[in-house]
Each structure stands twice: as C-alpha cells, then as structure tokens.
A = this chain, B = another copy of it.
Amino acid sequence: MMGVDKNRQWRLARRPKGMVTEADFTYHEGAVPEPADGHCLVRTLYVSFDPAMRAFLNEGPSYVPAQPVGEVMRAGAVGQIVDSRCAGFDAGSFVVGGFGWQDYAAVPGSAVMKVDARFPLPHYLSVLGGTGLTAYFGLLRVGEPKPGETVVVSGAAGATGSTVVQIARIKGCRTVGIAGGAAKCRWLTDELHVAGAIDYRANALTERLRELCPDGIHVYFDNVGGTVLEAAIRNMALHGRIVVCGMISVYNAEQPQPGPSNLFELVTRRVRMEGFLVGDYAAEFAEGRRELETWLDSGALKAYVDVQAGFENIPRTFLRLFTGRNVGKQVLKLADPPLQR
C-alpha cells in the first residue's frame, strides 16, 4: 500500500439549519481500516457532490435514511482497490461506490462496481455514473421527448442538466436552458448549443419562456422547483410532461417553501408531472451506459466536470453546489491512482 498511512474523514457534525455551512462538518483522522473477509480496501480518488446530498442531511421522509450525525459523510466516489480479501476483486481495479468523504473505505465486494477506466475516471461519476443515468432515464422514460419538441431544462449548467440538454439534442429536440448568471448562459449557448438560455436571476422567467417556447414546453426537466417550476407550468404545452428530478431551491430552506400557485394549469393543459429516481431503472443501467458510451465515443455527448482538489476543501466544494459555482459535474480529486495496473 502506498500514499497516506492514515485515513482522513469529514463527518457530519450536526444537522444544518437552513443553508449548509462548513461548520456543519468536522475533520477526523484515524487508522486505515483493515478489510475483513469478503471486503476490499478502496483508496478514494475522486469524490462526487450531488445537490440531493443536502436533502439527506435532514431528518424526515426521503428515499434514503438520513445521514447519521457523527459518521463519515456518505458520498459516491471512484477509487482503486489497494487490498482485496474478496474473490473477483483484484488490487489495482478501479471501482465506483459509496466510499464517502474519506481516503479509504473497507467495503464488501457487493458494494462496489468495477469500471474499465476506458474513459477518464471522473466520467464514472458524471455522464457514466448516476448523473448520466439520471439524465438518460429521466428524460427518455419519464419525459418521453419526441423529435422536434421543445425541452426546457432548469439547472441546465449543472451535472444532470447539462447531460439532459445534450441527450435532448441527440434525440432531435429543441432545447432551452435555465441557469443562474450570464456566464452560465453564455456557456449554455456556446458550448451546449441551446436554442435559448435564460438567466433566472435577471429575467422575467415566465415571459422569457413564452418568447423562447412559442409552441409551449413539451418536456420540462426540473432540477430546481419553486418559482422556476411555477414559470414552467405556466408555459407547458398541451399534454406536456414535467420530470421532477430535483428541487435544489428547497433543499436548504429552513421553513417549508410554498409550491407553485398555478397547479390548476396541470388540468387546463393536461400536464403530467412525475417524480423520478434513477434507482428504479437499475435493471437497465448496463443498456443505458452502453448508449451513453456510444455517444461519448462519437463526440455527440461530452462530460463537463468541475474538478476541485485537496481533502481539506471537501466541505467548501460541497457548498459550491448551492452558491451556483459549478459548471457541469462537481467532483474533487483526492489522489492519483496509487497502484500501477
């Protein structure tokens, strides 16, 4: 084994009240764990940051148990097996799993997925990871876009959003992206080639959507919720579909935030609004990944990744998601692969 001989961790210190802060986490050092029989020891190379992680910090109903206070922060990551006591998992293999905000994780073989590392490692957390699969199944299975339809994406410069925009374009749809700030909107236009980009901070959103979607919105892929969702509902086309993927506008709210006031418009234009979790499509992940890889190979799809570095920067990198700093997938690099293959 090489590299550090201790295991650094960030643990949840307390449940955040309102906006999450660095003080909600505590730094901890301990021994590198020994893998038990059937387990392997993984060195974390890149950790993944997802807005939904903020929701897991709260108690209350969600689709996974709340992150326990005092324990190492749960997080997806890509790593390399440095020691294996698990048949079929060899040292040197690159793996994806919930390794958390720590240098090392000793995990059972059932909790890791080997990746072939044909693409850069962060790809396996972005377009080839949960993010890409979320975009793929959410847009195609829940949104059901048809060629020529208008697909509007909020959080369009984010990890999932930027992938949704690209897949919608691949499928022959017209795309409109909503993001925060002029820089992101320029990026959406120049890099993702959206038909229209809207800065939700600067624009009268309802009116801009009306201008950019004169035939209405056929598919709205929502990562944001709140007033952005309300403006989208106002502009939905007849029989439009709203894919409810995330609601970053409410994750940090201290009080319940009022929902859109215009839900009756779901009736007037017979809109379907559907909540969605990628895990429901687990049986089809391999097929989805294959198509995403094909698009990556052809250049039709790109992975946009914002790579930060430094173990000490993990909590503040998490905060970047909620201050609108990241473009594309937010990851943080902890180490280069420690083992030669």
Which A residues are within 8 Å of any B CB, using their own CB? 55, 61-63, 225, 229-230, 234, 244-247, 250, 256-277, 280
Say whether B275 contacts A247, CB under 8 Å.
no
Minimum CB distance partner of A266 in chain B: B275
* Shortest distance from the beta carbon of A82 to any chain B beta carbon, whole Å: 36
Q: Choose among B225, B266, B275 the residue that contacts A269 (Cβ–Cβ < 8 A).
A: B275
* Shortest distance from the beta carbon of A59 to any chain B beta carbon, whole Å: 13
Say whether B229 contacts A264, CB under 8 Å.
no
A332 to B229, CA, bound (A): 41
A272 to B234, CA, bound (A): 19
A63 to B244, CA, bound (A): 24
Say whether A277 contacts B272, CB under 8 Å.
no
A225 to B267, CA, bound (A): 11
Which residues of the partner chain B approach A271 to less than 8 Å between Cβ atoms? 274-275
Given contacts A256-B261, A273-B274, contact A244 B268 (CB under 8 A): no
Say whether A267 contacts B276, CB under 8 Å.
yes
Say whether B259 contacts A262, CB under 8 Å.
yes
Given contacts A258-B258, A258-B259, A260-B259, contact A275 B265 (CB under 8 A): yes
Given contacts A258-B261, A259-B258, contact A63 B225 (CB under 8 A): no
A234 to B60, CA, bound (A): 11
* Shortest distance from the beta carbon of A131 to any chain B beta carbon, whole Å: 15
Q: Choose among B261, B268, B269, B275 the residue that contacts A259 (Cβ–Cβ < 8 A).
A: B261
A270 to B245, CA, bound (A): 10
Minimum CB distance partner of A250 in chain B: B264
Which residues of the partner chain B approach A264 to less than 8 Å between Cβ atoms? 55, 225, 244, 247, 250, 275
Say whether B267 contacts A262, CB under 8 Å.
no
